[in-house]
Amino acid sequence: MEQLRETLKGHHLRTTTCREDVLLTFMNKKNALSHGDLEGALGENYDRVTIYRTLKTFLEKGIIHKVLDDEGLRYALCSHQCSEEKHQHDHIHFKCNACGKTNCLENLHIPHVTLPSGYQPESFNLLIQGKCPECLGNN
Amino acid sequence: MEQLRETLKGHHLRTTTCREDVLLTFMNKKNALSHGDLEGALGENYDRVTIYRTLKTFLEKGIIHKVLDDEGLRYALCSHQCSEEKHQHDHIHFKCNACGKTNCLENLHIPHVTLPSGYQPESFNLLIQGKCPECLGNN
DNA sequence: AAAACACTGCAACATCGTTGCAAGTGTTAC
DNA sequence: GTAACACTTGCAACGATGTTGCAGTGTTTT
Ligand SMILES: [Mn+2]
Ligand SMILES: [Mn+2]
Ligand SMILES: [Zn+2]
Ligand SMILES: [Zn+2]
């Protein structure tokens, strides 16, 4: 609880219950969340629009990052210290086709790729889809 | 023109002007296209819904594949022979942050990744964002 | 030619995401 | 503690995106 406030303070954001609850939801669920997921979890307490704006703010401040998958856009906590100036991510995302959950594989880095000359890379996003350990265990 | 018909026939699809035009648009523009792009190009000739259904059909038949980027979903031609049964893609996608275009780098393959045990990979999707050669040339 | 099948346009609808504005809340300085 | 201020929220309205059902039209098969 107190940790939440520090996270928000650390990114120069006012502590509001909506922000605390969104942050808490990200920390409880381990997987990446879409706006719809959050609306399902918190929609009775907060307006749809407020949740959109909270996500946008968190994104700008470096608290969460985008996670792309074939269904659309999701978000996950930035584990290492990102800031407004510098979002840096080079980890892999895994989506399970069975349970539908998408996760950050934080300690698995995207391998280096040599681009054709003339291309200037700035950011990388690798999504692997397949079956996750939990779903393989219950087969 | 005749090539278009053969592509459609080859995938067991009837040749209609809408399908020909959508296919032609993909071949003329080199970059990945969203439904909105196609609607902009062909919307006066065909209904929105027909374009959606054409994309869905092409996707199922293996004529086009999905391309994910941070703005949403786009589509690009499958260069190698994909079919209804088997979509196989291991190439890299590049999105230019300056001009906004997303392209397939057909001959650049996604490097192999060793996943933690328990994960069973099935498909891979690597998006690199940065600046494309054209935009770097005009700076 | 008739029957079976496939494709299209239209209308209606559901979902998703954005914007403007007025009211409310958290923070800071006194 | 209070007042001032800037920031945040909810609501309403809107635009964009994507889906479904159905009737009409065209194509293929027999
Ligand atoms: Mn991640
Ligand atoms: Mn591609
Ligand atoms: Zn799973
Ligand atoms: Zn460019």
Which has the closest alpha carbon to B122: A99, A78, A96? A96
Q: Where are the alpha helices (DSSP H) in chain A?
A: 2-10, 17-28, 35-42, 48-61, 133-137
CATH class of B2-137: mainly alpha
Give per-residue pLDDT as tens, B56-106: 999 999 999 999 888 889 999 998 778 887 888 889 999 999 999 999 999
d(CA A15, CA B69): 32
Of B70, B126, B137, the CB nearest to A126: B126
Give per-residue pLDDT as tens, B40-60: 999 999 999 999 999 999 999
Residue B114 scores a pLDDT above 80? yes
B19 touches strand C (CB under 7 A): yes
Residue pair B111/A113 in contact (Cβ under 8 Å)? The answer is yes
Strand C: positions under 7 A of a protein C-beta atom: 6-12, 15-20, 25-27
> Which residues in chain A are contacts of B130 at CB distance < 8 A?
119-123
pLDDT of residue A139: 63
Residues 33-92 in B having a C-beta less than 7 A from any atom of strand C are 45-47, 49-50, 53-54, 57
Ligand 1 centre from A9 Cα, in Å? 22
Per the listing, tokens 């940065």 go with: B130
pTM (predicted TM-score): 0.89
A13 touches strand D (CB under 7 A): yes
What are the Cα distances from residue B66, in Å, to A36, A81, B1, B139? 22, 32, 24, 31
- DSSP letter, residue A63: S
Degrees, nearest 5: CA angle B42-B66-B36: 30
Averaged pLDDT for residues A87-96: 90
Residue A26 scores a pLDDT above 70? yes
Averaged pLDDT for residues A60-86: 89
Name the residue of chain A whose CA is nearest to B122's CA. A130
Output the CA torsion sign for B63, B23, A119, A82: negative
Question: Encoding tokens for residue A86?
Answer: 């510098």
Question: Encoding tokens for residue A109?
Answer: 């880095």
* Amino acid making up residue A46: Y
Q: Where are the domains of chain B?
A: 2-137
pLDDT of residue B2: 80
pLDDT of residue B139: 63
d(CA B135, CA B139): 6
